[in-house]
Amino acid sequence: MTTSFIPPRRILMGPGPSDVPQRVLDAMARPTIGHLDPAFVDMMEQIKAMLRMAFQTQNALTFPVSAPGSAGMEMCFVNLVEPGDKVIVCKNGVFGGRMLENVKRCGGVPVIVDDAWGKPVDPNKVRDAFAANPDARVLAFVHAETSTGAQSDAATLARIAQEAGALTIMDCVTSLGGTPIHLDAWGIDAAYSGSQKCLSCTPGLSPVSFSERAVERIKARKTPVQSWFLDLNLVLGYWQSAGRRTYHHTAPINPMYGLHESLVILEEEGLENAWARHRAMHEALKAGLEGMGLRYVVDEAARLPQLNSIHVPEGVDEAAIRARLLNEFNLEIGAGLGDMAGKIWRIGLMGHSARQENVDYCLTALKACL
């Protein structure tokens, strides 16, 4: 007879998910109520307000998609890209590649701006792409490339798009809550993230935010959105102001409790304090890693504090080290993806995982294994 599943206790220092505080787990164990219950509707409004704080935006259309970050990404593309639309896609890692796939599947015409893995997006290449394609309607880029730990200059990229009259779609899955994001100040039109990284919630929800310009573009579409579930024209009926909710889907009620609690924790800490904590833990980890002779993949100026990619030393079996860390120390770190598979480790310092005791434990364990 099958028995209940009891997961092992791990310290999560990979590229996500991050450690989930007990407060968030306890919140998710509270009684389930209906997704149209007035109490739940009130909580939805609070989530929207706290997400605006995290995104640093006044966008009315800011809410969590009832699915993981990949669905948040798809929601941005299926609503803002119509067949034949030209989209400049910045590709400097795995997740820029996923943006490219979304453009193709929407029937858009992609213009690829390629940069080496581990490098930020080059704004000059983006300027050149717009000069060669003045009819481009959207610029898509990854703010924090999870596959490499490189952070791009979102403010500059968005300004280039605005000067060209194009909208921007930004992936901030690994940056929201961990490193500065200013949607309104930068002029980002659509952004998506995930609940399981610097927000320290469980996986399965994708915070998104859309500017008024983006909403106008969506309302002016000439063709229907290809996805029924992700069509904002329909989803809006469920997430619009309290008292006028219409049924669209059954929201993941208990995970929403968890996201609410994680945002309350972020609000208590203070957004700028959270950014500073991630930076301080990165500096502590960096000092220890470099003291062991390990080298970073990304140049310091473009390095993402919460995702530390380091080269595997010559002659070391990277998979064997990760297995030892997991089996002997209950510590999870990440492997390389794509072109970097087998060549790098990715050490996450996200949300609740970005604590001094985790940094010390990771350095001790890695030193023992090496």
- What lies within 8 Å, CB to CB, of 39 at 6+ separation is 33
Which DSSP category does 89 fall into? Answer: E
In the three-class reduction of DSSP (H, G, I as helix; E, B as strand; rest coil), residue 112 is classed as strand
- Measure the CA–CA gap between 86 and 122, rounded to whole angstroms: 20
Per-residue pLDDT tens over the stretch 113-169 = 999 999 999 999 999 999 999 999 999 999 999 999 999 999 999 999 999 999 999
**Which residue is associated with the tokens 């980002």?**
188
pLDDT in tens, the chain (370 residues): 999 999 999 999 999 999 999 999 999 999 999 988 999 999 999 999 999 999 999 999 999 999 999 999 999 999 999 999 999 999 999 999 999 999 999 999 999 999 999 999 999 999 999 999 999 999 999 999 999 999 999 999 999 999 999 999 999 999 999 999 999 999 999 999 999 999 999 999 999 999 999 999 999 999 999 999 999 988 877 777 656 777 788 899 999 999 999 999 999 999 999 999 999 999 999 999 999 999 999 999 999 999 999 999 999 999 999 999 999 999 999 999 988 999 999 999 999 999 999 999 999 999 999 9
Domains 11-16+271-369 and 22-266 share a fold: no
**CATH for the stretch 22-266:** 3.40.640.10
Q: In this predicted model, what pLDDT tens digit does every residue of 225-239 receive, in sequence order?
A: 999 999 998 887 777
Whole-structure pTM value:
0.96
Q: Which residues pair with 191 in a beta bridge?
A: 170, 209
Under 8 Å between Cβ of 78 and 226 = yes
Cβ-contact 87, 113 below 8 angstroms: no
Query: How many angstroms separate the CA atoms of 259 and 251, rounded?
Result: 13
Q: How far apart (Å, rounded) are the C-alpha atoms in residues 314 and 1? A: 47
Give the model's pLDDT for residue 36.
Answer: 87
Q: Report the C-alpha gap between 68 and 64 in whole angstroms.
A: 9
**Confidence (pLDDT) at 243:** 62
Q: How crowded is residue 176: how many other Cβ atoms within 10 Å of its Cβ?
A: 25
* Residue 202, C-beta contacts closer than 8 angstroms, at least 6 positions apart: 17, 20, 24, 28, 195, 196, 255, 258
Burial of 361 (0-12, 13-18, 19+ CB in 10 A): middle
Cα four-point dihedral sign 78, 168, 181, 46: negative
Helical axes 318-329 vs 356-369, angle rounded to 10°:
120
Q: Are 59 and 209 in contact (CB under 8 A)?
A: yes
Question: Torsion over CA of 303, 139, 89 and 177, rounded to 10 degrees?
Answer: 30
Q: Is the Cβ–Cβ distance between 27 and 255 less than 8 Å?
A: no
Structure tokens belonging to residue 217: 């573009």
Strand ranges for the chain from DSSP E? 11-12, 61-65, 86-91, 109-114, 138-142, 144-145, 150-151, 167-171, 190-192, 206-210, 307-311, 331-332, 334-335, 344-348
**Strands 307-311 vs 344-348: parallel, antiparallel or unpaired:** antiparallel
List the domain boundaries for the chain.
11-16+271-369, 22-266
Burial of 43 (C-beta count, 10 Å sphere; 0-12/13-18/19+):
middle
Q: What is the pLDDT of residue 242?
A: 57
118 phi-psi bin (left φ>0, alpha ψ -120 to 50, beta other): left
- Backbone φ/ψ region at 84: left (φ over 0), alpha (ψ -120 to 50), beta: left
* Partners of 296 in beta bridges: 310
CATH topology of domain 11-16+271-369: Aspartate Aminotransferase, domain 1 (3.90.1150)
Residue 236's pLDDT is what? 79
**At 125, which helix (H) or strand (E)?**
helix 123-132
Look up residue 96 and give its amino acid.
Answer: G
Q: How far is CA 63 from CA 66, 113, 196, 207, 235, in A?
A: 9, 30, 15, 6, 10
